[in-house]
Structure 1
């Protein structure tokens, strides 16, 4: 039985999964990310993990999700956040040379979006957005069932759109980006509390915490408004750690969207939580590999 491998490269761990072509997880393993996490050491660790998962030689391709942007060919890691010395790393070439398997890359948010579209909350939808609400605000765009990455592979930075032109500075060079209001640091800046603590207080019925989450929901809804007008998705999937408290902010976000977005641009739109949790990136990377096989066969 043919299979593919999905790799989720993180700053502390590398997760790998072997999947059948219809999405059944056949094997899974996690190994520590080498420290220091130099490109050579990480490529070696990924190749070893792939070869271990492919002992029966049934795997046909490898997909890798990385914490940063890739080039338009989906072969070079332009930068990898929280890894040492990563700049224009030919990771796909290295892994192919060590495993003999066709390899493709994408950033971890895009992989998470692919994973949710394939086997998660969006598996019955063709047009959707994934928004990851965590240390930053990331995203992925799925249009007509395909991941949209733009001309040079850098599209889908949904957290960097402008929410308030006079707002706090963003590492991207923008001011008042969506990320500055809806990330963990945004919650801390506005409420003075970590999202986890704020969620616990809201669960306990704390009125001030609940009010903060309602404010967060309004900001989230306002940010999503611009994206809805551009993409008119069937579904917006919310992932990342902050989504754990979605019961407290989702109603306010939906109300804000309904107030700001014309009905014709939000027909049957559904906002929902991600389903795959920390496995979304690995699953999506496997989907990348599956698409790599399809492209090879088509050509």
Structure 2
């Protein structure tokens, strides 16, 4: 039975899982991301975690999702703006001799949309925009059922579009990017409480918490409106760490899109939370590894 490992590398956690070639979950593991999350420390943490996840070396290939763009060959992490020291890191080259498995890299948002299309909320849809709402705001785009990666592999970065020219500075060099209005940091600017606590407060009917989520949804809706004009998708999916509270902010997002986007550009549009939660990234990374590297064990 062919097996594959999918890894979702985030600013706070590394999520790993081992799957069959059909996407059935066999084993999973979560480890804290080393702090500071410099490339060398993360590389060693990934190697240790893979050894723990797959001690019998049953998986032949590994897909790693990272928060930033890869090179066109999916071997080098060009930049991860919210991880220190991540510029032109040849992570696949570093990992392969240590893991003794073939490795491919992908943007974490791209992984998430591939995972949702394979076994989640985007199954059966051809044109999809997905946003991951977490430490940063990433995302991925499917056009005609295929992953949109741009001419050099660096697309899409929907979290880095500008929504306010005078807004807070972003690690990307932009100012007032969607990330500055839709990330966990952005939510804390509105109300300095943990997202989980804020969600529980809104569940309990606290008006301040409800208003905070509504304001957050309106800010997110401004960015989603621009993305809808650009891609006219059938489906916009919202994932990442904040998606667990989507029931609090989805109505505001939908209202904002309805207010800002002309009817012909949002005809039949659905805006939903991801079905796979935080599991979409590692599943999509595994799927991309299967597509690019195949499932068979290789010996060089």
Q: TM-score range by the shorter chain?
A: 0.7 to 0.9
Matching residue of 1:122? 122
State the distance in 1 between where 2:81 and 2:270 align: 32
Matching residue of 2:74? 74
Residues 282 and 206 (structure 1), Cα distance of their counterparts in 2 relative to 1, 3 Å cut? same
Gaps of 5+ in 2: none
Matching residue of 2:172? 172
State the distance in 1 between where 2:286 and 2:31 align: 17
Larger mean CA deviation between 150-159 and 208-217 belongs to 208-217
TM alignment of 1:141-220, pairs within 5 A: 141-220=141-220
TM alignment of 1:90-129, pairs within 5 A: 90-129=90-129
Larger mean CA deviation between 196-205 and 25-34 belongs to 25-34
Residues 230 and 27 (structure 1), Cα distance of their counterparts in 2 relative to 1, 3 Å cut? same
State the distance in 1 between where 2:24 and 2:286 align: 11
Residues 294 and 267 (structure 1), Cα distance of their counterparts in 2 relative to 1, 3 Å cut? farther
Gaps of 5+ in 1: none
Larger mean CA deviation between 193-202 and 128-137 belongs to 193-202
Residues 61 and 292 in structure 1, CA contact (< 8 A), matched pair in contact too: no
**1:149-197 residue CA offsets vs partner (Å, 9 max, x unmatched):** 2122222211111212222222222222212222222222234544334
Matching residue of 1:5? 5
**1:121-168 residue CA offsets vs partner (Å, 9 max, x unmatched):** 212222211111222222111222222221222222111112122222
Cα distance, 1:48 vs structure 2: 5.5
SS of equivalent residue, structure 2 residue 125: coil
Larger mean CA deviation between 92-101 and 61-70 belongs to 92-101
| Residue 18 of structure 2 is aligned to residue 22 of structure 1 | no
State the distance in 1 between where 2:151 and 2:26 align: 35
TM alignment of 1:19-98, pairs within 5 A: 19-30=19-30, 39-40=39-40, 42-47=42-47, 49-50=49-50, 59-80=59-80, 85-98=85-98
Provide the alpha-carbon RMSD of the alignment: 2.8
State the distance in 1 between where 2:54 and 2:116 align: 24
State the distance in 1 between where 2:21 and 2:38 align: 32
Cα distance, 1:9 vs structure 2: 2.9
